[in-house]
Amino acid sequence: MTTRLSIGNLGVRYRRDGQGVEALKHVDLDMEAGKCLAVIGESGSGKSTLALAIAGLLPAGTKFDGSIAWPGLGHAPLNGRDIGFVFQDPSASLNPVLPVGEQVAEVARTHLALTWREAFGLATDLLGRVRLPDPEAVARAYPHQLSGGQKQRVAIAAAIAARPSLLIADEATSALDTIVQAEIVALIGRLVTEDSMSLLFISHDIALAAQLADRIAVFRHGRLLEIGETGELLRSPAHSYTRSLIEASFGPAAEERG
């Protein structure tokens, strides 16, 4: 099993209102190639900071120590080329005045040395791959003409356009309602398998994450609380906090059904 990503003793501090806020403390984490790691946490747990730190997108002035290493990559990771990133709010992550086809195509053009014509062709293929009906028409549409779930499919197409080896989904389904949410989770699962990407799935919902994850890491107050194989962690969590999350998410009704 090769290691895709290795995080060592990572700490991140923001400055807010003249006060330092420690968003992450002493985080050690490895990601294996082709596997899915879910990062679970509530607001303030530092899970989104972790995603932004890996993609080098932390705001200017953020203090940062520890290491993020990419064994076997041979160069610093390029956003879009090596890392695909899907954000929480699909309405906010697409430029409102550009056709969505162009927003997928520009990723392909930037990283794959394609002409615009080739990039648009690839974009249309990708829109089909994320199961958008009539990809040619969708490529010409603007974000406001699509539903929330459709927009998130477009954002996913843009994220995988340059075939990155790591896909980060930061609360990628929590702005959607439950039915669409299940569809998007299934879509991400299929794409990750087909392209043999590693997946970092960040969520507040442990039940949702359990559907995809090989391993689950639980974060609280900026610290990694525990990490383990999905089945193991769900069956016998080491921390009472993890247990409360599991109970709150799955609920008695679901157990009864299973």
- Interface of this chain with another protein, residues 212 to 251, rule: CB under 8 A: 212, 230-231, 234, 241, 244-245, 247-251
Which 53-82 residues touch another protein, going by CB under 8 A?
55, 57, 78-81
Asked if residue 152 binds another protein (CB under 8 A), the reply is no
Contact region with another protein (CB under 8 A), list: 1-9, 62-70, 115-123, 171-179: 171-179
Q: Which residue in 21, 69, 98, 137 binds another protein (CB under 8 A)? A: 98
Please state the closest distance from residue 201 (CB atom) to another protein, in A: 13
Residue 138: phi, psi to the nearest 5?
-65, -40
Give how many residues touch another protein by CB under 8 A: 74
State the DSSP string of 208-247. Answer: HHHTT-SEEEEEETTEEEEEEEHHHHHHS-SSHHHHHHHH
Contact region with another protein (CB under 8 A), list: 7-15, 25-33, 118-126, 187-195: 187-195
Nearest Cα to Cα of residue 63 among 27, 11, 25: 11
Torsion of CA 210, 235, 230, 204, to 10 degrees: 40
Please state the closest distance from residue 79 (CB atom) to another protein, in A: 4
Please state the closest distance from residue 117 (CB atom) to another protein, in A: 17
Please state the closest distance from residue 116 (CB atom) to another protein, in A: 12
Helix axes 100-112, 148-160, angle to 10 degrees: 10
What DSSP state is assigned to residue 94? S
Asked if residue 204 binds another protein (CB under 8 A), the reply is yes
Q: Which residue in 180, 195, 221, 238 binds another protein (CB under 8 A)? A: 180
Q: Choose between 33 and 78: whose C-beta lies nearer to another protein.
A: 78
Which 109-138 residues touch another protein, going by CB under 8 A?
110-111
Query: Which residue's entry shows tokens 């995603």?
Result: 51
Q: Choose between 10 and 205: whose C-beta lies nearer to another protein.
A: 205
Helix (H, G, I), strand (E, B), or coil: what is residue 157? helix
**Residues for the chain: how many in total?**
258
Task: Retrieve residue 105's tokens.
Answer: 């195509």
Q: Which residue in 21, 69, 92, 137 binds another protein (CB under 8 A)? A: 92
Radius of gyration of the chain from Cα atoms?
19
Residue pair 59/4 in contact (Cβ under 8 Å)? The answer is no
Q: Which residue in 42, 65, 134, 232 binds another protein (CB under 8 A)? A: 42
Within 10 angstroms of residue 152's Cβ, the number of other Cβ atoms is 31
Asked if residue 5 binds another protein (CB under 8 A), the reply is no
